[in-house]
Chain A
Amino acid sequence: GAVVSQHPSRVICKSGTSVKIECRSLDFQATTMFWYRQFPKQSLMLMATSNEGSKATYEQGVEKDKFLINHASLTLSTLTVTSAHPEDSSFYICSAPGPAHNYGYTFGSGTRLTVV
Chain B
Amino acid sequence: DIVMTQSPDSLAVSLGERATIKCRSSQSLTTSNNKNLLGWYQQKPGQPPKLLISWASTRESGVPDRFSGSGSGTDFTLTISSLQAEDVAVYYCQQDYTTPITFGPGTKVDIK
Q: Do A and B bind each other?
A: no
